Structure 1
Amino acid sequence: MPHTISAVRPHQAGLLRHMYLPRAADALAATITTYAIPLLILATTGSPALTGLTFAMEWVPRLAMFGVAGCWVDRYGPARVWRTATAIRTAVIVLAAILLPFTTAHVSTWALMTLGAVAGGLTEVSFVAAETAGADASRRADEAGHRIQGVLLGIDQGALLIGPALGGLLIQGGATPMLVAVAVLATLAVAFPIHTGKKEPAQPGTEQVSAVGALREGWRTVRALPALGWLVAGLAASNLSTGVLQASAPITVVHTLGHSTAAVGTIWSVAALATLLAITACRKTIDRWGLWPAGATAAAVVSAGCLTVALTTEFSLYIALVALIMAGEGVMTVVLRTLRSRIIPADVFGATLAVTMTLVLLPLPLAGGLVALTPAPQLPYLLTACATAQGLVLATVFARLRTHTALRPTPGETTS
């Protein structure tokens, strides 16, 4: 049923204030923190081991929080969970911005690493809430739902475009400018609370399940949806390879290629721009050819890129290959989001999202640990091994998915 202009404008205004603005502030704050803290640790300590450990410490609590976040969202509603998580994270960051200038260098290093871990965990809680709210808004928008998902994914990529470069510039003045910027963005996320127009649950009843029970329900849902399970397995294997690439990038760029920490931020900004362009282009590709060809092509590009980037010694080629890899990852993310929005039941979306995201992101702290344990000259060999395993797994996954009905093109298919 077509929307009238008078109905669309208030709806779009509501989405801007209660969905897009808070999501943008939250995503930018999270991106700056994720990329700037490891860079700051490398700049202040010069230790590749601590840099890899910092990357791992950022992701371990994120994974730990997915299960409870999914349970909380299903139980209390995304808006309430969003408000609580963003408010606590803002308070922690403001406290760190006030106290860090008065600490010693050693204490400051470990305090920053701890801050990355705490902020990372709270960020994933708000992420699950925002993803669930976005899915609710998409369902309420009927045939226009893919447009909402397109904007949300564009916001995420825009944050990846701006955040690393901004973080690289801010840390030139030390930790304080970076923390102040993140605190301002986190405050905006609190000031514009996320809301979908859907009635939030009242206080939870006795029939509500625990976090463990919610994860079990989400796991059962994943197992009952073979296409989703195979795609998650492929993305998990891919994330191990790209996680090693991300964790080792500061070491490679600064120690091997001889560039500054600001150059690392530039690399990820260029990669984010390439990803944004790839996501935009792949919508029409999926409309015409379907999910499987787009996903399989992206998988081949990512695997070949990871194998090649391990061998390069030229900075310009390194930037180009990283951009190509992350663009392919972006297309595979579109495939995953499209698939899960189609087939995951709404009443267990939060729990199932928590399980799928945990499985997909589990290799990232492992990647940080591997980089921390690997001497800098041996990092290309580590990346080569991971990229080889990635290519084999992705080839198997997309061979299995080739004839699956959930990934066949349908008339007028759109991404979400």
Structure 2
Amino acid sequence: MPAATQSAKGQDRRSRRNFRLLLVGETTSKLGTSVTSVLLPLVAVATLQASPFVMGVLTAAPWLPWLVIGLPAGAWVDRLPPRRVMLVCNAVSAAVFVSVPATWWLGFLSIGHLLAAALISGTASVFFSTAYSAYLPQLVPTADLMDRNAQLQAGDQAARVAGPGLGGLIAQTVGSVPGLLLDAASFVVSSLCLLAIRPEGPRPAPPPRRRLSREISDGLRFVVGDPWVRAVTAFGAAVNLAMAGFQAVQIVFLVRTVGVGSDTLGWLVSCGGLGGVLGGLVAGRLARRLGTARALLAIQFAASPFGLLAALAGPGPGLAFFVLGTTVMLAGIVACNVITVSFRQAYCPPALLGRVTATTLFLNYSTIPLGALLGGSLASLFGARSTMWAVTAALVAAGGFLLVGPLRGLRDLPGAPAGEAGAGA
């Protein structure tokens, strides 16, 4: 066998092994985070008797760092090896979630400690997510990004499905406060997997450092100035706005309007996660069959209208409307996310990828608290069912950002870096 062929096969095996380690580590970490999404509110309510206002602040706390440091985080990550950033973030997050049971055992746990834990872990998540998006293209060939992102998304959604049930079981068996140690352990597993990854070669030298404000403006200018990135970023922000409103009102809608009991509520909400797993599994196949641009449009306008069915939900057999609507809707959202993330990783210049990722996530996540506030306000004024109609209709309308962009009439999104534009930045 020629030496070049043996070398190529060795690189392929190493690439697959590296990705498997990343997949195992990330899925484990996401499972721990999903468990904590149940346990941390339980600690606040059952152990510390938090008020509804404090619960709202605790829910918003992990997202606030995106609004404060989301943009400079991209510039900082572009200056550093992404794996090192991810390892530091894992260590910080693990320490945070060990500190909560530790202070509880010592008798000093307070609401302030929980809020600080949520803020610090949210800050670590900002840097980790940015570095993670820049790290994946270093491990995976460009041609495989779609399939690998789809597998990562499927693992993420599977963790979201399993996490709440596991969190409830842990709370009943060992207690909600000690159960947070599981999340700390999940970050340790993620770090061990990262340490086991064998780099393909020396990392390219980082670009010369300039003023932080200039580097941030480079990322902003690329996102706003490039028609492709601008279109998918606006689309993502609009989807997050609608989905935040949906998630803010769905529990109230199911419990107070439809009359769902607590024994049924959990599996109804989990149906969306199952749809997300399905979306992650089929995204790559649809993109290859239809083309990435056509698939993005087809998935959005075929799947998002199913969300309107959720507003038709009623008692008994009427719950089928909610199950079908949320399952297909979430499958479409995850499939679209796989395509847009893969496009961004393949299209953006590597030297700008951290800043572009941070900028797009900053713009996308900034709509989440706004959507949640808007959904709650509309439900208070017009009722939960009317709000469900409004937010699911807004999800369908989000596809308009794709139609007014340069995607119409194309089979595929561009897959190569933006050449001269990126080099000039």
What TM-score, normalized to structure 2? 0.81
Q: Which residue of 2 aligns with 1:340?
A: 344
Q: Does 1:378 align with 2:383?
A: yes
Q: Between 328-337 and 289-298, report the one with greater CA deviation.
A: 289-298
CA distance in 2, matches of 1:50, 1:263: 27
CA distance in 2, matches of 1:252, 1:405: 40
CA distance in 2, matches of 1:406, 1:9: 31
Q: Which residue of 1 aligns with 2:24?
A: 21
Q: Between 108-117 and 339-348, report the one with greater CA deviation.
A: 108-117
CA distance in 1, matches of 2:53, 2:322: 22
Structure 2, unmatched stretches of 5+, are 416-425
Q: Does 1:387 align with 2:389?
A: no
The alpha-carbon deviation at position 338 of structure 1 amounts to: 2.8
Q: 1:11 and 1:284, CA in 2 relative to 1: closer, same or farther beyond 3 A? A: closer
The alpha-carbon deviation at position 172 of structure 1 amounts to: 4.2
CA distance in 2, matches of 1:171, 1:372: 28
* Secondary structure in 1 matching 2:210: coil
Q: Between 363-372 and 274-283, report the one with greater CA deviation.
A: 363-372
* Secondary structure in 2 matching 1:312: coil
CA distance in 2, matches of 1:125, 1:52: 24
* AA of the residue aligned to 2:368: L
The alpha-carbon deviation at position 296 of structure 1 amounts to: 2.1
Q: Which residue of 2 aligns with 1:167?
A: 167
Q: 1:116 and 1:238, CA in 2 relative to 1: closer, same or farther beyond 3 A? A: same
Q: 1:349 aligns with which of 333, 338, 353?
A: 353
* AA of the residue aligned to 1:13: R
The alpha-carbon deviation at position 264 of structure 1 amounts to: 5.1
Q: Does 1:77 align with 2:78?
A: no
8 Å CA contact 1:73, 1:128 repeated in 2: yes
Q: Does 1:100 align with 2:101?
A: no
The alpha-carbon deviation at position 110 of structure 1 amounts to: 5.2
Q: 1:144 and 1:5, CA in 2 relative to 1: closer, same or farther beyond 3 A? A: same
The alpha-carbon deviation at position 179 of structure 1 amounts to: 0.7
Give the CA RMSD over aligned residues.
3.4
The alpha-carbon deviation at position 276 of structure 1 amounts to: 1.9
Q: Which residue of 2 aligns with 1:135?
A: 137
8 Å CA contact 1:219, 1:352 repeated in 2: yes
Q: Which residue of 2 aligns with 1:117?
A: 119
Give CA deviations for 1:12-39 in whole Å, capped at 9, x if unaligned: 334434x233322332233333455446
The alpha-carbon deviation at position 351 of structure 1 amounts to: 0.3
Q: Does 1:300 align with 2:301?
A: yes
Q: 1:54 and 1:210, CA in 2 relative to 1: closer, same or farther beyond 3 A? A: farther
* AA of the residue aligned to 1:169: L
Q: Which residue of 2 aligns with 1:414?
A: none
Structure label with greater radius of gyration: 2
Q: Which residue of 2 aligns with 1:413?
A: none
The alpha-carbon deviation at position 41 of structure 1 amounts to: 5.2
* Secondary structure in 1 matching 2:334: helix
The alpha-carbon deviation at position 283 of structure 1 amounts to: 1.9
Q: Which residue of 1 aligns with 2:181?
A: 180
Q: Which residue of 1 aligns with 2:402?
A: 397
CA distance in 1, matches of 2:46, 2:298: 38
8 Å CA contact 2:26, 2:190 repeated in 1: yes
What TM-score, normalized to structure 1? 0.82
Alignment of 1:234-383 (within 5 A): 234-256=235-257, 257-260=259-262, 265-301=266-302, 303-314=304-315, 315-371=319-375, 375=380, 378-383=383-388
Structure 1, unmatched stretches of 5+, are 411-416
The alpha-carbon deviation at position 347 of structure 1 amounts to: 0.8
The alpha-carbon deviation at position 267 of structure 1 amounts to: 4.0
The alpha-carbon deviation at position 325 of structure 1 amounts to: 1.7
* AA of the residue aligned to 2:227: P
Q: 1:14 and 1:304, CA in 2 relative to 1: closer, same or farther beyond 3 A? A: closer
The alpha-carbon deviation at position 96 of structure 1 amounts to: 0.8
CA distance in 2, matches of 1:171, 1:147: 36
* Secondary structure in 1 matching 2:399: helix
CA distance in 1, matches of 2:373, 2:104: 26
8 Å CA contact 2:70, 2:126 repeated in 1: yes
Give CA deviations for 1:325-350 in whole Å, capped at 9, x if unaligned: 21111111022123212321111000
Q: Which residue of 1 aligns with 2:148?
A: 148
* Secondary structure in 1 matching 2:152: helix
8 Å CA contact 2:300, 2:399 repeated in 1: yes
Give CA deviations for 1:353-390 in whole Å, capped at 9, x if unaligned: 11111111211122333456554983333343333334
The alpha-carbon deviation at position 130 of structure 1 amounts to: 1.6
8 Å CA contact 1:223, 1:229 repeated in 2: yes
The alpha-carbon deviation at position 134 of structure 1 amounts to: 0.5
Q: Which residue of 1 aligns with 2:36?
A: 33
Q: Between 147-156 and 361-370, report the one with greater CA deviation.
A: 147-156
CA distance in 1, matches of 2:194, 2:414: 37
Q: 1:91 and 1:390, CA in 2 relative to 1: closer, same or farther beyond 3 A? A: same
